[in-house]
């Protein structure tokens, strides 16, 4: 199963959303500038299991924002995600930036949660996040396990 990259890029090509380019993204933006932005992310679910998916942000929730509503190109459905569970963000060129650093550019101070507070889960192996984010296209939603 793909992570939604092709569908997300079609959406960007049609001018329906902005594709993220980390090398062109200025700092000091307001959180509202995230709305309509399409990007990839490495995300940990509540059990600490990592997945890779492409999303377009539709709405921010909370003041200050704690969650964001998206259209998830992997599931082809509306989904909500917590900022604190986004470990890496990657753009349309495969550039990777830590989630906390990326969202900090928009004035959000995020403390990334430890996905393994009581030690590694047998369901959540150690992961080489950079190799997950920079894999060749088309992407799969599985995670590479570090040796």
* Among the listed residues 76, 97, 87, the one whose alpha carbon sits nearest the alpha carbon of residue 50: 87
Supply the mean pLDDT for the chain: 76
C-alpha 49, offset from chain centre: 14
Q: What is the pLDDT of residue 114?
A: 55
Question: Residue 28: exposed, middle, or buried by beta-carbon count in 10 A (0-12, 13-18, 19+)?
Answer: exposed
Is 88's pLDDT higher than 50? yes
For residue range 44-79, what is the model confidence (pLDDT) as tens digits?
888 878 889 999 999 999 888 889 999 999 889 999
Neighbours of 57 (CB within 10 A): 20
Domain boundaries, the chain: 5-132
Question: Residue 54: exposed, middle, or buried by beta-carbon count in 10 A (0-12, 13-18, 19+)?
Answer: buried
Partner residues linked to 68 by β-bridges: 60, 81
Peptide bond into 138 cis (omega under 30): yes
C-alpha 14, offset from chain centre: 21
Tokens of 45: 């679910």
Q: What is the pLDDT of residue 112?
A: 66
Do β-strands 65-72 and 50-62 pair in parallel, antiparallel, or remain unpaired? antiparallel
Share of the chain above pLDDT 70, in %: 74
């Amino acid at each position: 199963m793909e992570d939604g990259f092709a569908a997300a890029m079609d959406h960007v090509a049609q001018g329906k959303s902005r594709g993220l380019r980390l090398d062109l993204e200025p700092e000091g933006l307001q959180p509202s500038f995230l709305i309509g932005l399409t990007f990839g992310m490495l995300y940990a679910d509540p059990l600490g299991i990592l997945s890779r998916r492409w999303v377009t942000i539709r709405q921010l929730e909370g003041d200050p924002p704690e969650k964001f509503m998206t259209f998830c190109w992997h599931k082809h459905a509306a989904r909500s995600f917590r900022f604190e569970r986004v470990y890496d963000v990657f753009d349309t060129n495969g550039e990777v930036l830590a989630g906390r650093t990326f969202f900090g550019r928009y004035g959000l101070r995020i403390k990334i949660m430890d996905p393994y507070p009581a030690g590694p889960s047998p369901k959540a192996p150690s992961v080489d996040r950079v190799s997950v984010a920079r894999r060749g296209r088309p992407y799969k939603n599985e995670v590479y396990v570090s040796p």
